[in-house]
Amino acid sequence: MARPSLSALAASACLVAIAPAASAQTFGPRSGPRWESPQNFAIELRVGSFNQAIDEQLGLAGRGPYQQIFCSTRDATAAAGSAVGCPMRFRVGLEGDWQILRLGPVGSLGVGALAQYGNAFASAPAAAGMSSTDATQWRRSAQTTSLQAINTAVFAVLRVDVLAQRVRWLPIAPYAKAGLALAPWWVTSGEETARDPITNSDAVGLSSGFFLAGGLSVMLDAFEPATARQWDQLSGVNHSYVYFELNYSYLGGLGRRTLDLGGLGWTAGILLEL
């Protein structure tokens, strides 16, 4: 029985549609082997941290509303004073890039867009039990409250894949992204959208700002080149990567102040080039 390959596993992780045969502009010769199909697009499956800068924006780092509601205790059965800190929370999403320009053997320059969903949830504080200034002393109800957001961004992306393409024992490709970000968000109380007690309106909003990211991807083709060639011939997947990225988004508003659902975080995932 043939052993499974890293490239096959990565390619199987996403449903890959055959990309239209649009040709990208190029500078210089294509760096890949002659058997490769045209490469114009990239698809990423993303899993990352769900970090919020709400309290920092308010000048209340470690003691603001996000910390008090979502980090002081995890559930209604936790005893008063049993602070546990913020549990690890994640965002999941997809990214698509159009690699418009091939920079000779060096890499590609393109534009991309992403969307990632994340949420923070906790047992809602009981209004009658919020008299203490110490949130770990608040009495919690059996009802769940949550902050949910969809972080989106459009950006330029530069991928430097010359080493991955030409040096088999060093299959790494660094990249950088920069662009604009938007994040629709909403707060729930039980099954309903929460109400803002000051304005008596639904607790929903749209935050805006910018997005920066830098990362390192590892080409899996180098470990199973024969399988990579088969995948390219059968499905049009030129290359498959695993990657890790650090990203920063500021969502405190461009022009007018908005709730900052950004911050410094990390993302890892699988990248397929088509």
Domain 19-33+40-79+87-163+171-218+242-273, CATH class in plain words: mainly beta
Distance, in Å, from the CA atom of 76 to the CA atom of 125, rounded to the nearest integer, reads 9
Q: Where are the domains of the chain?
A: 19-33+40-79+87-163+171-218+242-273
Q: Provide mean pLDDT across the span 206-225.
A: 93
218 closest CA partner among 177, 147, 167, 179: 167
Distance, in Å, from the CA atom of 149 to the CA atom of 48, rounded to the nearest integer, reads 14
Say if CB 62 and CB 55 are below 8 A apart.
yes
113 closest CA partner among 126, 98, 95: 95
Lowest mean pLDDT among 19-28, 154-163, 203-212: 19-28
Determine what percent of the chain is predicted with pLDDT higher than 90. Answer: 40
For residues 266 and 89, the model is more confident at 266
pLDDT recorded at residue 123: 73
Checking if the pLDDT of 162 tops 50, the result is: yes
pTM metric for this prediction: 0.76
In whole numbers, what is the pLDDT of the chain averaged over residues? Answer: 79
pLDDT recorded at residue 60: 66
pLDDT recorded at residue 138: 66
pLDDT recorded at residue 30: 41
In degrees, rounded to 5, the angle at the alpha carbon of residue 189 between the alpha carbons of residues 186 and 191 is 95
In degrees, rounded to 5, the angle at the alpha carbon of residue 31 between the alpha carbons of residues 272 and 47 is 20
Helix, strand or coil, per DSSP, at residue 128: helix
Q: What is the DSSP string of 60-111?
A: -TTTSHHHHHHTS-SSTTSPTT----PPP-EEEEEEEEEEEEEETTTEEEEE
Lowest mean pLDDT among 47-51, 144-148, 226-230, 242-246: 226-230
In which band, very low, low, confident or very high, does the pLDDT at 177 lie, cut at 50, 70 and 90?
Answer: very high
In which band, very low, low, confident or very high, does the pLDDT at 130 lie, cut at 50, 70 and 90?
Answer: low
For residues 138 and 176, the model is more confident at 176
Q: Provide mean pLDDT across the span 181-198.
A: 85
pLDDT recorded at residue 112: 98
Checking if the pLDDT of 95 tops 90, the result is: yes
Report in angstroms the alpha-carbon separations of 255 from 27, 183, 186, 207, 229: 38, 15, 21, 11, 49
In which band, very low, low, confident or very high, does the pLDDT at 127 lie, cut at 50, 70 and 90?
Answer: low
Please tell me the number of Cα atoms within 13 Å of 257 on its side-chain side. 3
pLDDT recorded at residue 272: 95
235 closest CA partner among 13, 7, 11: 11
H helices of 102-155, in order, are none
Checking if the pLDDT of 128 tops 70, the result is: no
Q: Provide mean pLDDT across the span 128-132.
A: 56
Bridging pattern class, strands 41-49 and 192-193: unpaired
Checking if the pLDDT of 12 tops 50, the result is: no
Report in angstroms the alpha-carbon separations of 74 from 67, 89, 144, 186, 187: 12, 12, 10, 20, 17
